[in-house]
Structure 1
């Protein structure tokens, strides 16, 4: 059992025990709350019947205070229990991830699948049984977007990657904090639409509710109205019509701009739960101490000095939370009365507009920072779960990929390790071998480990060094009936994009699987040879798998800038077996006829 697996087991056991303890406490407090209510009613009624009115009133006040306290304690304990249950679930998922049951996870990144992307479709970065499904610990929309971006977009330079590597390694040691971040952010239920709506509403300016004179007037009017009501109905200084008139004036004042106020306040109210969760999540980040510059730079987005004072994003979000809590359902009768008497919509709009003026431009940056921490935490999971994996070395020199004992990150214990060495003197690995021997898997192994390397995460290898290269693949090309494109023409278009990128001066790493398989053998051989020679003369390196053994002659013609490798099979007890080990040289075996026999097809013996 891995050390990380033992740690997850211990933590799950601890939180399971804690949930039981907290749940029993919640039940006891719930019973106590009911008992306070019941005894309060009995004693209040009893003393009132016996004409001990002051005693009855005293008991009412005491029992009311005790009941409110019990309700708050109960709610707090219930929140703590729910939080602990989330931690249990997180550790359960972590154990599933280690033993290979991560394919059960619901979040697969299906919406990020793109068959036209340079490599993500071919390398299983998103979708069913994908890298994203395996490592994702993000709950927020922007967290998933950040993880998607780092797995599918070029990062830039080696310094950027090295900064991210430092952040990932530091977070990998902060297991408790990472799990608390994941548990806290799991309460956030946002999506592209809600994030856009939030961004829109906090960045919109409404100068009417920022006007100092309007603010003063609309704060004074309710005070005057209430005074008139008391003087009319309680003290009878004026005719009752004066009080009614004051209320009518306030109702009329609520009509102008009511639709816009309703829309704005209703949106803030509907986001109340997310605002509360973001406040707790941001507070968790602000309180944590980090060592590496990358993490501190991210944290500084939440803690900024402004006018000589430290502006804490958590505190500002807390203010927004209080504003959202002051807004109730507009259809609520109590709210309608509150609104008429105090012009409550205006008071909420004044408070929100003030907050929006001070913080509106920064709110999106704050929630994006949360997303970036989630993304880094997802990458840190890899480092914590697989201590034997290595952090790759990113080289400034071009066209290098050297790996020792490299294996596929998603295949668990079934993965087989192989070495790979590509450089300017040996730019293309031409891989031959029989069907099912492991050619395509090896290409994907190199590609997906390179994606991890550029993201700042560890890779599955004993050692791994690479230069910055744009990844291009041509592997899963199929007919596109919607666009009326055949698989062969689809290959041509993909290869065209590789050649164009190379002509632009990009450093390219390419993976070509069964190149030009959609055409006849003569054209396939000729076309593949022309393409390999062209790529070999560009700023490219990569791997090509093929069944066309005649292509292996390129090695001698290219002065070994193209090198032949192969996978082989062997037979045991009259059954075909594969060791999935990469060997130097061209393949000498074939197994297509044997596999046809295994499928029940009558194939005559040689």
Structure 2
């Protein structure tokens, strides 16, 4: 895929070079046409020549035409530069050098069933690796898919949608480019329904507008027909000045809420329009698109109205222009009233429309993962009983050149899988490999495996336990609370995969061993599927008493010449016999009496 992105970048760079040359030409043409207009108008004013004024008009028209063409070229250039940036970002992501998209750090939750232990959110997380959402609603949608439970039917439909989008790579790239251009996360901090609450349209406003326009027309008519003194025009103009002062707070509030949102509305609308016009086969994408039309008005039509009103409001930003428009036409008052009516009719619906954009971004993120990793595969789900089987299963965040994959399955009836091994041998990484791939599968994405078959079940983990100064709790007490939560849950529902890493670390060895054995016994009693990583060989020895319930695995260490350690990170059946703590201590200069 890196070669594909490099080729695409070369194509974009060629386009950028062409657009930049055009940009320089347009700059020159703008200057020439404007100077020509100034010279011709100066000559025309001096000679009062009709021909001169016509020529000046031609130069002015030419200048305006060049400006419009220049703006169009700049828009294309901006799009091309953005596209290049997101393509370069794909190469960085594949090389695990970071991602310009949001890391999901705000979704951190140490008390979640698994997200903290699985490094789901934050820098160098699964979320950051997968995420291609430029909007807040997109980030939220992907975060929820990774951290919440969904019905099997929804996961299947989402998977079909991801497969379809993966086949429309360029279309997805176009949408990502539009949304990335303005990075509209800030816009999503205050959605339009929330803005609506700040807007209160004065009840008398419509009547005053009608009176003003009626009085203005009546005055102009009277002056024209009855040859009255034009000074009478000051009456409606004075009324308009008073009305602008009277409703100034109202128009100021509307302006403040729309300020800087025009580009955002435009980009959202481009995405929604592209989605409305695209034909899809998957149920998920079709149903999602249906939410964009209500009461025979599409989302793009409604947002275009607001965008148009916002543009017209900008006409009065100039001091002189604004004074003329507002004194003669009540420009801001009339338009702000229309904006207020728009909010009454559509503000509540926009949340759903923007959520459609968010879900589309999340789906595109998953489709992009498939395209970036064509060697990965979609999981297969089984409906009956508990099942977990992976062939050549690897961790997505380990570079392919360094990744060691393993086969693993939980046999029906053999619920407890004890994994022993020395330090740094790969036990914790293996637990995360299982967990992360299960979560990707349940999101609707491809998994880092040759084959992955699983049933629908929850995950709970016990990997990273820390103390909390804010809550005044020690590490050991938080361990106890975490274990209590796990045991309380599995006593009610055993359709849960537990991933446990070195239980009861905060106490002495004897206490830790007794407690861990008691916990494993209870898990066996409730027939809870679990993978338990440990240094404690007494847990592995429990297989003698529970041969039908416990399976042992280990990660080996190879020690060469009594000092060099080598890890193969391959999961093997049995119990680990070689440990490396003493050797590691010797390497840092501490003598260890190995006879004791």
Q: TM-score range by the shorter chain?
A: over 0.9
| 1:138–1:144 contact (8 Å) kept in structure 2 | yes
Aligned-residue RMSD, C-alpha = 2.4
The answer as to 2:104 corresponding to 1:116 is no
Q: Decide whether aligned partners of structure 1 residues 234 and 331 sit closer, same or farther in structure 2, where only a CA change above 3 A counts.
A: farther
2:277 to 287, 296, 320: 287
Task: Provide the residue aligned with 1:80 in structure 2.
Answer: 76
Post-superposition shift, 1:47?
Answer: 4.2
CA deviations over 1:127-181 (Å, ceiling 9, x no partner): 12111111111000100011111111112x2211111111111111111111111
Distance 1:407 1:128 in 2: 20
Task: Provide the residue aligned with 1:100 in structure 2.
Answer: 96
Return 506-515 or 104-113, whichever deviates more: 104-113
The answer as to 2:9 corresponding to 1:21 is no
Task: Provide the residue aligned with 2:216 in structure 1.
Answer: 225
CA deviations over 1:478-515 (Å, ceiling 9, x no partner): 12122111111111111111112223326211111111
Distance 2:101 2:348 in 1: 34
Distance 1:385 1:21 in 2: 29
| 1:45–1:56 contact (8 Å) kept in structure 2 | no
Task: Provide the residue aligned with 1:276 in structure 2.
Answer: 266
Task: Provide the residue aligned with 1:378 in structure 2.
Answer: 365
SS at match of 1:412: coil
Post-superposition shift, 1:232?
Answer: 6.6
Task: Provide the residue aligned with 2:53 in structure 1.
Answer: 57
Distance 1:300 1:594 in 2: 64
| 2:416–2:524 contact (8 Å) kept in structure 1 | yes
Task: Provide the residue aligned with 1:45 in structure 2.
Answer: 42
The answer as to 2:592 corresponding to 1:570 is no
Q: Decide whether aligned partners of structure 1 residues 336 and 533 sit closer, same or farther in structure 2, where only a CA change above 3 A counts.
A: farther
Distance 2:187 2:70 in 1: 34
TM-score after normalising by structure 1: 0.92
Distance 2:84 2:422 in 1: 46
Task: Provide the residue aligned with 1:314 in structure 2.
Answer: 300
| 1:203–1:360 contact (8 Å) kept in structure 2 | no
Distance 1:541 1:526 in 2: 21
Distance 1:517 1:468 in 2: 31
The answer as to 2:404 corresponding to 1:416 is yes
Task: Provide the residue aligned with 2:451 in structure 1.
Answer: 463
Gaps of 5+ in 1: none
1:580 to 566, 569, 580: 569
* Alignment: residue pair count: 592
Gaps of 5+ in 2: none
Post-superposition shift, 1:427?
Answer: 1.2
| 1:430–1:552 contact (8 Å) kept in structure 2 | yes
| 2:247–2:333 contact (8 Å) kept in structure 1 | no
Task: Provide the residue aligned with 2:470 in structure 1.
Answer: 482
Distance 1:329 1:131 in 2: 46
Q: How does 1:499-578 map to 2 (within 5 A)?
A: 499-505=487-493, 507-538=495-526, 540-573=528-561, 574-578=563-567
Distance 2:26 2:342 in 1: 38
Distance 1:383 1:254 in 2: 57
Post-superposition shift, 1:230?
Answer: 9.0
CA deviations over 1:262-319 (Å, ceiling 9, x no partner): 2123212332221122111211222222121111111122245x3xx4x321122111
1:168 to 159, 162, 167: 162
Post-superposition shift, 1:196?
Answer: 3.1
Post-superposition shift, 1:207?
Answer: 6.5
Task: Provide the residue aligned with 1:326 in structure 2.
Answer: 312
Task: Provide the residue aligned with 1:406 in structure 2.
Answer: 393
SS at match of 1:509: strand
Task: Provide the residue aligned with 2:286 in structure 1.
Answer: 296
The answer as to 2:342 corresponding to 1:355 is yes
SS at match of 1:160: helix
TM-score after normalising by structure 2: 0.94
Task: Provide the residue aligned with 2:326 in structure 1.
Answer: 339
Post-superposition shift, 1:524?
Answer: 0.8
Distance 1:487 1:35 in 2: 74
Post-superposition shift, 1:579?
Answer: 0.2
SS at match of 2:377: coil
| 2:99–2:129 contact (8 Å) kept in structure 1 | no
Distance 2:130 2:38 in 1: 55
Post-superposition shift, 1:356?
Answer: 2.8
Distance 2:237 2:342 in 1: 29
Post-superposition shift, 1:416?
Answer: 0.8
Post-superposition shift, 1:78?
Answer: 0.3
Post-superposition shift, 1:59?
Answer: 1.7
Q: Decide whether aligned partners of structure 1 residues 223 and 195 sit closer, same or farther in structure 2, where only a CA change above 3 A counts.
A: farther
Distance 2:266 2:45 in 1: 43
